[in-house]
């Protein structure tokens, strides 16, 4: 992943409502949720949610599909995993990383 792409993804998540929406969609798995249910669960007005979903989709963090009269949104796991890989690619002093290993923990100096 290029640094510009990582910045775009991080910028999209650097807002409380968008981060909440994205986390909810990650929890839902690939089935996703209709926009109305997202709005209900997070107590967000439809207009506000529409704005934030547009930002997440534009950044590539969410996908949408039409099912009848509903638009279903889901997390784009490939983009999320790409960002996580980018953020951790140089961890552990270049050694393969086990996130639970103490080698990945900051050293105490």
> Whole-angstrom Cα distance, residue 50 to residue 99?
35
Tally the domains of the chain.
Answer: 1
> Whole-angstrom Cα distance, residue 70 to residue 56?
18
Residue found by looking up tokens 């981060």 in the block = 19
Q: How confident is the model at residue 103 (pLDDT cuts 50, 70, 90)?
A: very low
Provide the whole-model pTM.
0.83
**Residue 30, domain member (yes or no):** yes
> Whole-angstrom Cα distance, residue 105 to residue 58?
34
**Residue 79, domain member (yes or no):** yes
Predicted local distance difference test score (pLDDT) of residue 98 = 63
Query: Which CATH number goes with the domain that contains 20?
Result: 1.10.10.10
- The answer to whether the beta carbons of residues 30 and 20 sit under 8 Å apart is no
**Residue 109, domain member (yes or no):** no
> Whole-angstrom Cα distance, residue 67 to residue 10?
29
**97 three-state secondary structure:** coil
Q: How confident is the model at residue 94 (pLDDT cuts 50, 70, 90)?
A: low
């Amino acid at each position: 992943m290029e640094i510009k792409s990582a910045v775009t993804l991080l910028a999209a998540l650097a807002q409380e409502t968008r981060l909440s929406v994205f986390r909810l969609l990650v929890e839902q798995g690939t089935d996703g949720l209709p926009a109305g249910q997202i709005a209900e669960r997070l107590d967000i007005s439809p207009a506000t949610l529409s704005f934030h979903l547009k930002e997440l989709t534009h950044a590539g963090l969410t996908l949408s599909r039409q099912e009848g009269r509903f638009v279903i949104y889901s997390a784009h796991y490939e983009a999320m995993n790409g960002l996580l890989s980018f953020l951790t690619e140089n961890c552990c002093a270049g050694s393969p990383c086990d996130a639970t290993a103490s080698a990945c923990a900051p050293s105490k100096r």
